[in-house]
Amino acid sequence: MAAALEPGKLFTELRAACADDWRGYVEHDFVRGLGAGTLAENAFRHYLTQDYLFLIHFARAHALAVYKSDTLEDMRDAAAAVSQILNVEMGLHVKYCAGWGLSEADMAAVPEARATLAYTRYVLERGMAGDLLDLSVALAPCVLGYGEIGHRLVGAGTARDGNPYKSWIEAYGGADYQRAVRMAGAQLDRLYARRGGAARLDRLIETFRAATLLETDFWQMGLDAA
């Protein structure tokens, strides 16, 4: 298996502080099922539907990041992320889901699962109550965690012909997403250098752990639907 990426000093420290919870997230049975190609299709379809709803709030979180930014560079980065999600990623997700028999209208009509509500509202709450660093750390298990999962699965050779989840694995383990992971890790380090310090680390670890557990619940939500 390929070694895990190390996208930044702060992320590495946060992950180490939450090692057991992080392992439960990136090695969850849902993830194992993706790699083995044995995940129940109903579980994956339910996940895809909720991920569509999640992306909407993901865009809102980055819009909040524009407001929370105090430099033009950060504002432009956050605004670019909003545009990327709304104008590119949503379309790609809808196209991918169509291959699984899911229409955009169908996904938009599905109620948000409790796991979706819990994580997305937690991220927005941390951003509203805190600053851009708090918001970015709350988002990190999603942004950086998917990169680590994709990297692990590709490195383990799971993106093989015959695996129905091959394209999902390749998307998150591929060069484009891995580049985005490194950029997100570097941004965390920049924010921590400007806004962080030892006095904030315990609270950031608490945020990271909570977000990691909520992401784990998102996987479990998919399994429970099978």
Positions annotated as catalytic residues are 142, 215
Exposure of 132 by Cβ count < 10 A (0-12 exposed, 13-18 middle, 19+ buried)? Answer: buried
Residue reference for tokens 């994580």? 119
Q: How far apart are CA 145 and CA 191, in angstroms?
A: 19
Cβ neighbours around 56 below 10 Å, total: 15
How many Cα atoms are found within 13 Å in the side-chain-facing hemisphere of 218? 27
Q: Tell me how far apart the alpha carbons of residues 38 and 32 are, in angstroms, rounded to a whole number.
A: 8
User: Judging by beta carbons within 10 Å of its beta carbon (0-12, 13-18, 19+), is residue 103 exposed, middle or buried?
Assistant: exposed
